[in-house]
Structure 1
Amino acid sequence: MTDRASDNQISAPPLSLDETGRLMRRATLASVFAAALLIAIKFYAYLSTGSVALLSTLLDSGLDMAASLINLLAVHHALTPADAEHRFGHGKAEPLAGLVQVAFILGSSVLLLIEVINHFAEPQPVENTGIGIVVMVVSIAVTAVLMVYQRHVIRRTGSLAVRADATHYFSDFLVNAAVIAALVLSAWFGLWWIDPLFGLAVALFIAFTAIGIGREAFDMLMDREMEGAERDQIKEIVRQHPEVRGLHELRTRVAGQFRFIQFHLELDADMTLREAHRISDAVERELLQHFPGAEIIIHQDPYGVAERRRVFR
């Protein structure tokens, strides 16, 4: 997996909105179908082996299915323009869906912990490890093919939703490889405790992931400010304009893939309204170069005129 910077360095012909939407929908549908296939073969392997480690990856694939469906829904709403009933768009559907996903993730983690405790209390040997290993190799192959396609879509669209899904499947790729190691150590070397121990590690990892998703969803729903580095970048871009005297009352928020930016722009007091409008448009265009698709609201203020201000960090 390469980092985000490398994605940005790869140039590709610009896509229309319809083409971008079509690629993003295909990527999310591919994730759903891949997760469904992995659930089917892992369920068969778990019934054949009784491995807790394999059960953990089965539950994880179930979570992948939920995450992929949520991404499919999020992409659908992200491509839906604002309407008369939703003037600020539909971006908050994504964190709402994220909270639902958190509930499922935590529930699966608890069920897996119960199964782990039972296996520690009553040790059970892992059976038919050959089937389990073959299924995990197939799972790795399916996941690898999906990631290659997702990387292609990311390069063409820059979709954050698809990038997050690709990152999730990359972690699954590593987990599947680790499960093979657990099956081998448990069956071939008689280390029965390796299997439930690995299941415990995965259960804790799933719960930790759920907490992170829930925190991010909560921040979006509560209109948390954009990151400090992004706010500093906004201020720097605005102040770089030679005719801007300053800015204040900068307020930002994020809803799904959408960013909202608003602030008061300080300009010379004797400037005409036409000139003030021209400068505001120029500042807005520059901001959109760095924050594509952002909703930007600029209020022009005469420089040096005292006004009541809310002071935030």
Structure 2
Amino acid sequence: MELTGSADRRAVLRRRIRLLVAATITYNAIEAIIALSAGTIASSVALIGFGLDSVIEVSSAAAVAWQFSGPDPERRERVALRVIAGSFFALAVYVTVEALRTVFGGDEPERSTVGIALVAVSVVVMPILSWAQRRAGRELGSASAVADSRQTLLCTYLSAGVLAGLVLNAALGWWWADPLVALGLALVAVREGREAWRGDGCCAPLLLDADPADGCGCAAGCTGPCCVGGP
């Protein structure tokens, strides 16, 4: 009976992750279109990087959706993690190149009211999606789901940084804040990419019948990202 309860709980968590992934893909697809359009018009590397991060978030979420669409998600986890990690690295390279080109090329970004409004909305929405997926991923013991939630959380940090850069440029004319924010994003993306590439920090087997006070129910001594004590 206990085993049946654990199996039922895992099925519920897998369905929840699929729904959260679908919501993430939908939101980020819309966000990417608006951000890339507004960033191109304003020549804002930070806003374009924000849009590309949304594209990468879609690919990351799609990798997790692919993983959980099969009968044995655990067997697909490593591939999903590689896709997520590669997305982080690609974002870091592009943003770094474009930020340096902006600084040394003197191509000052223009003000973008649409960009400011879009990023402000993301500062509110992204933390909610990230928290929900990270909680479900930790309980299920899925490193890829947790990694994807970190990608979503990175979008939150990026949103806050880009928002600050856009506001400083619009209010004070500090155009250099835009590429500076972009370079900060690149550093964070590299760190998160390394974490996803290593990506074997979840405990297995997961103890779904563990005391809720123990967090995700990982074995004693676990400090991986799926555990409460993990990074």
Structure 1 residue corresponding to 2:153, chosen from 164, 167, 170: 170
Q: Which residue of 1 aligns with 2:15?
A: 22
Give the % identical residues: 24
TM-aligned CA distance change 1:129 to 1:293, over 3 Å = closer
Which residue matches 1:91? 74
Instruction: Say yes or no: does 1:182 pair with 2:165.
Output: yes
CA contact 2:81–2:197 (8 Å) conserved in 1: yes
SS of 2:74's partner is: coil
Look up the match of 2:190. 207
1:80-229 → structure 2 map (5 Å cutoff): 80-81=71-72, 91-144=74-127, 146-147=129-130, 150=133, 154=136, 158-161=139-142, 162-216=145-199, 220=200
TM-score after normalising by structure 2 = 0.73
Output the CA distance in 1 between the equivalents of 2:82 and 2:205.
20
State the 1:29 CA deviation: 1.3
Query: RMSD of the TM alignment (CA)?
Result: 3.3
**2:208, 2:179 → 1: CA distance?**
51
How many residue pairs match? The answer is: 206
**Structure 2: gaps (5+ residues):** 1-6, 211-215, 220-231
Question: Given the alignment, which residue of 55, 61, 67 partners 1:74?
Answer: 67
Report the Cα offset of residue 32 of structure 1: 1.4
Rg larger for: 1
Residues 126 and 187, structure 1, Cα contact 8 Å, conserved in 2: no
On the 8 A contact 1:31/1:65 being kept in 2, the answer is yes
CA distance in 1, matches of 2:195, 2:14: 28
Letter in 2 for 1:99: R
1:173 and 1:99 mapped to 2: Cα distance? 22
- Could you tell me which amino acid in structure 1 is paired with residue 159 of structure 2? N
- Unmatched 5+ residue regions in structure 1? 1-13, 82-89, 221-225, 227-253, 261-286, 295-313
Deviation of 1:130 after TM superposition, in Å, equals: 1.5
Please give the TM-score of this superposition, normalised by the length of structure 1.
0.56
> Is 1:42–2:35 an aligned residue pair?
yes
Q: Deviations over 1:124-183 (max 9, x none)?
A: 2222322221121233344255357647x739x933444544443233223212211111
Q: Say which structure is richer in helix.
A: 2
Q: Tell me the amino acid that sits aligned with residue 94 of structure 2.
A: L
What amino acid maps onto 1:146 in structure 2?
L
Distance change >3 Å, CA 130–CA 95, structure 1 → 2: same
Deviation at 1:39, TM superposition (A): 1.0
Aligned partners of 2:99, 2:20: CA distance in 1, in Å? 34
- Does structure 1 retain, via aligned residues, the 8 Å contact 2:32–2:51? yes
- 2:198 partner amino acid: R
CA gap 1:107/1:149 in 2 versus in 1, 3 angstroms: closer
Q: CA deviation at 1:23?
A: 2.3
Contact 1:70 1:97 in 2 (8 A): yes
Name the CA shift for 1:105/1:21 in 2 (closer, same or farther; >3 Å): closer
* Cα distance, 1:190 vs structure 2: 2.5
AA aligned to 1:113 is T
Residue type of the alignment partner of 1:138: V
Instruction: Verify: 1:31 aligned to 2:24, yes or no.
Output: yes
